[in-house]
Structure 1
Amino acid sequence: MFSKIVYYSPYERPFYFILLGVALIPLIIQLLRGNRMMWYQNILTLTFLWLSFSGPNARQGIALILYVLWQTVLVYAYFKYRQQRNKSSVFYVAVALAILPLFILKLFPFLANQTMLLEHNPQLRFIPMTIGFLGISYLTFKAVQMIMEIRDGVIKEYSVGRYIQFLLFFPTISSGPIDRYRRFEKDLLHPPSKETYVEMLSSGLNMIFLGFLYKFILGNLLGTQLLPRVQDFALQRENLFLGLLGTMYVYTFYLFFDFAGYSLFAVGVSKLMGYDTPINFNKPFLSHNIKEFWNRWHMSLSFWFRDYVYMRLMFTLMKKKVFKSRVVASNVGYFVLFLVMGFWHGLTWYYIVYGLYHATLICLTDAWIRFKRKHKKQLPSNMWTKGLSIVLTFHAVAFSFLIFSGFLDTLLKTIF
């Protein structure tokens, strides 16, 4: 059977923060003077990429280098082509080639396990190791974004150097947030004023310390101490309901504090470097409905899928008049969107069910919003109804995370 490759974020190691703090001092001093030392930032980037992708991770480092070369040549070639012609077929080929390494990485383990391919060809187990590295998904999102915006004509100039810096921006390389090229390029070319940077510096430090609380204290307590206990409790048949309920709550808060903590580190370090990287979380558990939740949870990923998958699919469906009803087209778009998101997480039943579940919730939410508009005067709207909507949304989301966790798969295999 194919064993899953496990990647570890550099932010998992406390010593990483000590090195980072010392290394950032010269950059911070110059930014306080209104200057950006690009030569030093480049050295900093290479140094911390080397720390993350050397030693036991050296194979990942080689894969990263080959991947960046692949995407750089691909985007450059498409940019040059787009200056003269604009055939849709070439655009789709370029997008497919940008996705290809990630597609192979995601699909190969599934095919290998299903077909027992590795039993007869054990040497093939090195394929994912050759092309896989920490952060490949997020770099792929950046590359696809570039190709789409070049096609749209919103990116009119292409600098190989700036594009590579965009791909390899080390604070966000492993798990985002997913920045936009034009926003990043603006920060790259125009360092913040002294007054603006002082505010960024204060905000960045606050985010980093809050990240320590989220990831290393609350996340560690929930994930290391509480989660295994409630899961063991749930595996006892007589405690099944309470155990599942406890697992649902604990895993939901663990997932939030762990990922939000990492995102705070990434955005905080970005701010120390003078880059206003977008935040990833904005009090998601205070959402009134599932659509609002996705505007608050893992925001850079949500907005990426919204802008580059859902909106473009909707445009095509409406332009070609595939469906007469905009509501039907929208619902189809939601199911395609969340199925793609589910497949991106992995080719297992619980990721796919997770995607279908959220698509269903959003379609129902849209239907409820349309119903409320028609019966606005008849339906109450006060602090109690708003509070109830928050509670219901939270539990709908928490149940989806129970599915996402894969624990139900473990439970079913244990019981049956």
Structure 2
Amino acid sequence: MNYFEGNEFFLFLLAVLIIGFIINYFEKNKEYFIIFVSLFLVGNIYGKSITMLLYLMLFLIFQYSLIVFSQKTTKACQTILVGLSVVPLILNKLFALTQFHFMAFIGISYMSFKTIQIMLEISDGLIKEKINLKDYLQFLLFFPSVSSGPIDRSSRFLEDIKSSMTRKDYLELAGTGVFRLVLGMFYKIVLSTYVYQFLFSLTNTGTIVYSIKYMYLYTLYLFFDFAGYSLMAVGTSNILGVQTPMNFNAPFLSVDIKDFWTRWHITLSTWLRDFVFSRVLMRAIKKQLFKKRLHNAVYAYIVNMLVMGFWHGISVSYILYGFYHGVLMAAFEIYQKKSSFYKKNKNKNWYKLLSWFVTMNLVVIGFFIFSGEPYKLLKVILRK
């Protein structure tokens, strides 16, 4: 069994959603039922590998200890503890380059960002109430989003999980949830599989035509696969009475690169905006790293997107992908602020259409870099 894969999981999910529907319909407390299901799935899925289960347990104990200490210590110590909370993820990415995959378990990237969010908000004074072990495990191991997001915020999630909706509001949310779940299954099981067959059938000829076909097909495959999973996660959450945030909002309608990152992997981009970009920018301004605010913003965009690249993994393709989008975001920031042409034409339909066309092709090139295919392509060209 694995999350949102195979007949066994979906049959189990059906039973869970029926029980969850009954609990919410009668406006009963749902948190103990959900944590029981989440822990049951942890036992079944992570328990297939004793090593993976031990790594998960070690991670949970280590991070919860940091949270407990952080709520009892000074601001200076909290900063150190925030740094320590990043260590498991860094070790996981570093050891992924070797044959010894230390701290390798399903969902470590998403769980790490959830824990870092808690630590940073404790340090900022936004979280003052004690986070008990049950709430911590509920948040990190919430089964619809544990392996691939969306990345929720602890305060919002815990408020949802502890409250009961009126029957009318719940039925509306559950109806939306069923639609999202079915649409997500169609995206992931049907459309992503269909596109992947075309992608898999391509032969690397080392030509521009091959590259164009690959980058567009890969972009479609990535969207249907990831957006499909996200929709299933959100739809499942909704039926259970939890309003997990959406992760995609028609990204292929984006008219510029900033617009794209408000539509694609929304929970990741907003997490990075709140906890990386804004902090890097304010620190750069405070330290007067650059004389002009625009230059500080450019610097913050590049750092922000490089963190996004490293979050995916320490490989050339991921790091270049992050740097590529950092440069695009920085360049667009300069263009927005400095270009009279942009200010004069940004609201005109012809400009929006042209900007959309350019943006989509830049996005597709980015996913081509992300896929790692350019390096395979280079090898084929060098053999000729």
Q: Please give the TM-score of this superposition, normalised by the length of structure 2.
A: 0.95
C-alpha displacement of 1:376: 3.7
Provide the C-alpha distance between the structure 1 equivalents of 2:88 and 2:346, rounded to a whole number of angstroms.
52
C-alpha displacement of 1:12: 2.3
Letter in 1 for 2:205: Q
Moved more, 169-178 or 368-377: 368-377
C-alpha displacement of 1:384: 2.3
C-alpha displacement of 1:135: 0.2
Unpaired segments ≥5 residues, structure 2: none
C-alpha displacement of 1:276: 0.3
Which residue of 89, 94, 101 corresponds with 1:107? 94
Provide the C-alpha distance between the structure 1 equivalents of 2:295 and 2:30, rounded to a whole number of angstroms.
52
Which residue of 19, 23, 36 corresponds with 2:16? 23
> Is 2:49 the partner of 1:49?
no
Whether the 8 Å CA contact 1:72–1:164 is kept in 2: the answer is no
Unpaired segments ≥5 residues, structure 1: 1-7, 113-124
* Shift in CA distance, 198/355, structure 1 to aligned 2, threshold 3 Å: same
The match for 1:410 is: 376
> Is 2:179 the partner of 1:206?
yes
Whether the 8 Å CA contact 2:294–2:334 is kept in 1: the answer is no
Letter in 2 for 1:236: T
Letter in 2 for 1:185: L
Which residue of 64, 78, 81 corresponds with 2:70? 78
The match for 1:284 is: 251
Which residue of 162, 165, 170 corresponds with 2:143? 170
Whether the 8 Å CA contact 1:27–1:36 is kept in 2: the answer is no
Letter in 2 for 1:384: W
The match for 2:225 is: 258
Whether the 8 Å CA contact 1:204–1:268 is kept in 2: the answer is yes
Whether the 8 Å CA contact 1:197–1:274 is kept in 2: the answer is yes
C-alpha displacement of 1:9: 5.3
C-alpha displacement of 1:53: 1.3
Moved more, 197-206 or 156-165: 156-165
Provide the C-alpha distance between the structure 2 equivalents of 1:236 and 1:411, rounded to a whole number of angstroms.
8
Provide the C-alpha distance between the structure 2 equivalents of 1:394 and 1:109, rounded to a whole number of angstroms.
31
C-alpha displacement of 1:93: 1.9
Provide the C-alpha distance between the structure 2 equivalents of 1:203 and 1:241, rounded to a whole number of angstroms.
43
Pairing 1:231-380 to 2, within 5 Å after superposition: 232=203, 235-237=204-206, 240-372=207-339, 376-377=343-344, 379=345
Please report the RMSD computed on the Cα atoms of aligned residues, expressed in angstroms: 1.7
Provide the C-alpha distance between the structure 2 equivalents of 1:109 and 1:26, rounded to a whole number of angstroms.
39
State the number of aligned residues: 381
Which residue of 30, 40, 55 corresponds with 1:37? 30
Q: Please give the TM-score of this superposition, normalised by the length of structure 1.
A: 0.88
Q: Deviations over 1:134-183 (max 9, x none)?
A: 00010000111011100111111022221221111111000110000110
Sequence identity (%): 38
3-state SS of 1:11 partner:
coil
C-alpha displacement of 1:49: 1.9
Letter in 2 for 1:72: Y
Provide the C-alpha distance between the structure 1 equivalents of 2:177 and 2:105, rounded to a whole number of angstroms.
27
Whether the 8 Å CA contact 2:174–2:238 is kept in 1: the answer is yes
Following TM superposition, where does structure 1 have runs of at least 4 consecutive aligned residues deviating by more than 6 angstroms? none
> Is 2:375 the partner of 1:395?
no
3-state SS of 2:241 partner:
coil
Q: Deviations over 1:207-228 (max 9, x none)?
A: 11001110011101112x1112
Whether the 8 Å CA contact 1:28–1:272 is kept in 2: the answer is yes
Provide the C-alpha distance between the structure 2 equivalents of 1:375 and 1:179, rounded to a whole number of angstroms.
35
